[in-house]
């Protein structure tokens, strides 16, 4: 919670000094004499005036902080305390001028009022930094607003009930107790702290996120688009063949050109091709003017001729002269295919493949359990998707042999709507805007969530369930406890025992005691 910070502890010290002075020079309880007599004319008026100035100063500063909180976080409950403090001082001043009888009013004196304000400011000061360390989601904020209005309603009830049955000073005293005894945000802080612990454990387990709020949307995801290469398949690539389809070049020539173009670019395919060539005693040709073609391949110059390695989908799209029957046979064997091109003429072909990810069945089970519609778009050949489609029951739609532009358009059609998730290890195009982007590994850097391996995906849904439980169970039970204290302060205990009531000073003591657990468990530097 980034907002104006008040020096509550300094105000508490000033209030404590005023408490000591008034405790010695003014009556502690209604109808009792002061411990010391101060021979100063109008001393009590001076004491009330100084206290009034102090209360007004503190309340003005609290209202400024409340305004900033409301503006920045759309949630503040400080105005409840401001009203409570003002009512308390007004009631004490009224009783000083017109005393009234009643158990509620015995401690409604200036020393006890200042002592209560001291405790109130102390609790605010101790928790101020802790509150900033706890993020609150929409459900928590809604719960805090609900409790705020419950507090106000019970305070009005107490004012009217005791005002009409006893006297209005008693009604004001009980209403003050209701306004001060608890903070309506406490259940939200407890739930927020529990939520923070869950998220920190998730981060320690290798799952990181740009904004923790994005995890709230995982539970609503219905459609998932997943990248094939390196996620559903393993990172290991096996080169099956590098062949010439042009009589001007031998197979070894094509292999030398291929290694020369790929060698400067570190990738799993490069390493596999280099190993394949080394086994056959072929070394990379010297290449220059090398350039990476995103989602297509690479190009460069060898012996003053321009060569490129492109995907099969790109070759078909560019209408290169390729043997369609041969390409189909490669695909039916489950191969990925790339072509070596001399200018606009295909001179060679590379066939390679990846084994399926060992975690594929576990991931498929997760998607099925969550009732997700899973889709896959790839620039790779149709043949390379055959094994994945056969084993993944959750995979409802597959589109292969896409050009980079075609793949991007397909992703936009699938993902630019509500409740969608993209699981990828590739750079995300600017116009592709899923609800959640999950990166497996380091890329893309700007993904909402990063997981180390595809098996970590289950942690997202498990964490979402834990967060949902926190937002309901913790909020519910802590709110019940807060309401019980509010009912106690509202004077309902009177119907059980005539001595079962909460004076405002007792309410501030209870508030300080209730705030101590948050003080001990929440690290302000978290």
Is residue 152 located within the same domain as residue 255?
A: no
C-alpha distances out from residue 498 to 190, 494, 508, Å = 34, 5, 21
Question: What's residue 407's pLDDT?
Answer: 86
Same domain, 42 and 176: yes
pLDDT on residue 3: 55
> Mean pLDDT across the stretch 14-28?
92
- Containing 511, the helix (H) or strand (E) segment is helix 504-521
CB 191 within 8 A of CB 200: no
Residue 294 has a pLDDT of 82
- Pairing state of beta strands 305-311 and 297-302? antiparallel
Residues paired with 398 in a beta bridge: 376
Residue 273: pLDDT above 60?
yes
In a domain, 275, yes or no: yes
pLDDT at residue 146 greater than cutoff 90: yes
Regarding whether 168 and 298 lie in a shared domain, the answer is: no
Residue-wise pLDDT for 436-466, tens only, equals: 999 988 878 888 899 988 888 898 888 888 8
What are the strands of the beta sheet with 395-399, ordered from one edge? 208-209, 449-451, 436-440, 420-424, 223-226, 373-377, 395-399
Residues 342 and 375 occupy one common structural domain: no
- Residue 356's DSSP bridge partners are 233
Q: Do both 317 and 428 map to the same domain?
A: no
Give the rounded percent of residues in the chain with a pLDDT score beyond 90. Answer: 39
For residue 129, being part of any structural domain is answered with yes
Q: Model confidence at 480, in pLDDT bands (50, 70, 90)? A: very high
Model confidence at 333, pLDDT cuts 50, 70, 90, reads low
Above 60 in pLDDT, residue 69? Answer: yes
| Mean pLDDT score across all residues of the chain | 87
What SS3 class is residue 396? strand
Q: Examine the pLDDT at 17 and tell me if it is beyond 90.
A: yes
The model's pLDDT over 236-270, given as tens digits with 9 standing for 90+, comes to 888 888 989 888 899 999 999 999 999 988 888 89
Nearest residue to 152 via CA among 116, 184, 120: 184
Instruction: Summarize the confidence of residues 205-215 as an average pLDDT.
Output: 83
Residue 216 sits in the same domain as residue 350: no
User: Could you tell me if 258 and 377 lie in one domain?
Assistant: no
Between CA 90 and CA 29 the distance in angstroms is: 17
What does the pLDDT read at residue 332? 64
194 and 84 belong to one structural domain: yes
Which ranges in 133-222 belong to alpha helices (H)? 138-165, 168-181, 186-204
pLDDT at 406: 86
CATH number at residue 310: 3.40.1110.10
The two three-digit tokens of residue 200, written as one number: 């920190």
CA contacts within 13 A on the Cβ side of 214 = 17
Query: Considering the domain boundaries, does residue 361 fall inside one?
Result: yes
Asked whether residue 507 is domain-assigned, the answer is yes
Q: Residue 6: its pLDDT value, please?
A: 82
**356 band by pLDDT with thresholds 50, 70 and 90:** confident
Parallel, antiparallel, or unpaired: how do β-strands 373-377 and 395-399 relate?
parallel
Confidence band (pLDDT; 50, 70, 90) for 147? very high
Q: Is-contact 395 388, C-beta < 8 A?
A: yes
pLDDT for the residue numbered 199: 85
35 and 183: one domain? Answer: yes
Most confidently predicted of 12-21, 243-252, 400-409: 12-21
Position 107 confidence tier, pLDDT thresholds 50, 70, 90: confident
Place of tokens 């116009």: 431
Q: Looking at the structure, do residues 263 and 146 belong to the same domain, yes or no?
A: no
What's the whole-model pTM score?
A: 0.69
Lowest mean pLDDT among 34-48, 340-354, 450-464: 34-48
| pLDDT, greater one: 132 or 364 | 364
Q: Range of 298's domain?
A: 235-355
| CATH number, domain containing residue 401 | 3.40.50.1000
The domain boundary, picked from 451, 476, 503, lies at 451
Give domain status of residue 458, yes or no: no
Q: What does R_g of the chain's alpha carbons equal in angstroms?
A: 36
Q: Give yes or no: residues 183 and 75 share one domain.
A: yes
More confident residue, 370 or 31: 370
Q: What is the pLDDT of residue 1?
A: 42
* Residue 3 falls inside a structural domain: no
Is pLDDT of 508 > 90?
yes
Looking at the chain, the whole-number percentage of residues with pLDDT higher than 70 is 95
> Of 295 and 285, which is predicted with more confidence?
285
- How many structural domains comprise the chain? 3
Within a domain: residue 224? yes
Q: Cα–Cα distance between 220 and 198 in angstroms, integer?
A: 19
Coil, helix or strand at residue 276? helix
| Domain limit, last residue, from 355, 377, 406 | 355
Compute the average pLDDT of residues 21-48.
84
Contacts of 421 (CB under 8 A, 6+ apart): 218, 221, 223, 224, 225, 434, 435, 436, 437, 438
Distance of alpha carbon 398 from alpha carbon 376, whole angstroms: 5
* Confidence tier at 366 by pLDDT (50, 70, 90): very high
State residue 333 phi and psi, 5-degree precision. Answer: -85, 0
Which among 355, 371, 396 is the end of a domain?
A: 355
Could you tell me if residue 2 is inside a domain?
no
Indicate if 187 and 267 belong to the same structural domain: no
What is the structure's pLDDT at 169? 92
Give the pLDDT mean for 403-412.
87
């Amino acid at each position: 919670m980034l907002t104006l910070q008040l020096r509550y502890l300094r105000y508490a010290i000033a209030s404590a000094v005023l408490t000591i002075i008034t405790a010695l020079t003014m009556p502690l309880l209604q109808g009792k004499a002061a411990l010391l007599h101060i021979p100063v004319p109008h001393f009590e008026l001076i004491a009330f005036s100084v206290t009034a100035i102090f209360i007004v100063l503190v309340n003005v500063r609290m209202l400024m902080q409340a305004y900033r909180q409301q503006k920045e976080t759309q949630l503040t409950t400080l105005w409840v305390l401001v009203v409570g403090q003002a009512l308390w001082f007004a009631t004490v001043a009224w009783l000083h001028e017109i005393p009234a009888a009643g158990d509620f009013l015995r401690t409604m004196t200036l020393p006890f009022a200042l002592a209560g304000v001291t405790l109130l400011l102390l609790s605010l000061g101790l928790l101020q930094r802790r509150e900033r360390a706890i993020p609150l989601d929409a459900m928590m904020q809604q719960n805090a607003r609900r409790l705020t209005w419950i507090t106000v309603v019970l305070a009005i009830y107490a004012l009217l009930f005791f005002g009409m049955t006893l006297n209005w000073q008693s009604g004001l005293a009980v209403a003050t107790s209701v306004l001060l005894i608890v903070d309506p945000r406490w259940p939200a802080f407890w739930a927020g702290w529990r939520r923070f612990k869950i998220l920190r454990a998730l981060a320690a387990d290798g799952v990181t996120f740009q904004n923790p709020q994005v995890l709230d949307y995982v539970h609503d995801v219905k459609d998932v688009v997943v990248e094939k290469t390196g996620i559903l398949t393993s990172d290991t690539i096996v080169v099956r063949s590098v062949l010439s389809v042009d009589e001007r070049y031998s197979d070894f020539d094509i292999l030398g050109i291929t290694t020369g173009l790929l060698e400067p670019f570190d990738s799993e395919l490069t390493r596999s091709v280099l190993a394949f060539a080394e086994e056959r005693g072929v070394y990379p040709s010297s290449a220059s003017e090398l350039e990476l073609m995103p989602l297509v391949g690479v190009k460069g110059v060898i012996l003053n001729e321009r060569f490129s390695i492109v995907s099969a989908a790109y070759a078909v799209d560019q209408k290169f002269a390729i043997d369609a029957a041969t390409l189909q046979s490669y695909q039916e064997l489950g191969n990925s295919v790339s072509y070596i091109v001399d200018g606009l003429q295909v001179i060679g072909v590379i066939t390679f493949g990846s084994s399926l990810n060992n975690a594929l069945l576990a991931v498929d089970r997760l998607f099925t359990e969550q009732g997700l519609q899973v889709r896959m778009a790839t620039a790779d050949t149709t043949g390379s998707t055959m094994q994945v489609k056969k084993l993944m029951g959750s995979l409802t739609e597959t589109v292969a042999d896409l050009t980079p532009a075609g793949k991007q358009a397909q992703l936009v059609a699938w993902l630019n709507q509500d409740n969608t998730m993209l699981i990828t290890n590739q750079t995300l195009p600017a116009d592709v805007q899923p609800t959640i982007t999950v990166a497996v590994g380091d890329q893309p850097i700007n993904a909402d969530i990063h997981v180390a391996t595809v098996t970590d995906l289950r942690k997202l849904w498990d964490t979402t369930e834990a967060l949902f439980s926190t937002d309901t169970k913790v909020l519910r039970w802590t709110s019940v406890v807060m309401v019980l204290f509010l009912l106690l302060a509202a004077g309902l205990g009177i119907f059980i025992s005539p001595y079962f009531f909460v004076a405002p000073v007792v309410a501030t003591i209870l508030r300080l005691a209730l705030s101590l657990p948050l003080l001990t468990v929440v690290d302000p530097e978290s």
